[in-house]
Amino acid sequence: MIKSISNKIIEWLTKNLVLLFMVGVLFASIQFFNAREHQAISDAAKQAEMIKIKLSMITEQ
């Protein structure tokens, strides 16, 4: 019984190995681009804050 189930699992994995690999690559690329987007948004927020500080310093003078 257990060998039958494990054989079916191994058979399924061999048939779908390329699909599983593609899913892994897709997941990794989504995570990579999500991290890059988060970093870009963070950098833009920092730049906006710096501009706001500079503008407030200019208007105080």
What is the tens place of the pLDDT at every residue in 12-22?
A: 888 899 899 99
CA distance 34 to 41: 11
> Which pLDDT value is given to residue 47?
95
> Which pLDDT value is given to residue 60?
81
Instruction: Write out the two tokens for 52.
Output: 């706001």
Q: Convert 15-28 into a string of H (helix), E (strand) and C (coil).
A: HCHHHHHHHHHHHH
Residue type (1 letter), 46:
K
Q: What is the pLDDT along the chain (61 residues), one digit of tens a residue?
A: 778 899 999 888 888 998 999 999 999 999 999 999 999 999 999 999 999 999 999 888 7
Q: What is the mean pLDDT of the chain?
A: 91
CA distance 7 to 13: 10
Residue 4 region, left (φ>0) first, then alpha (ψ -120 to 50), else beta?
Answer: alpha
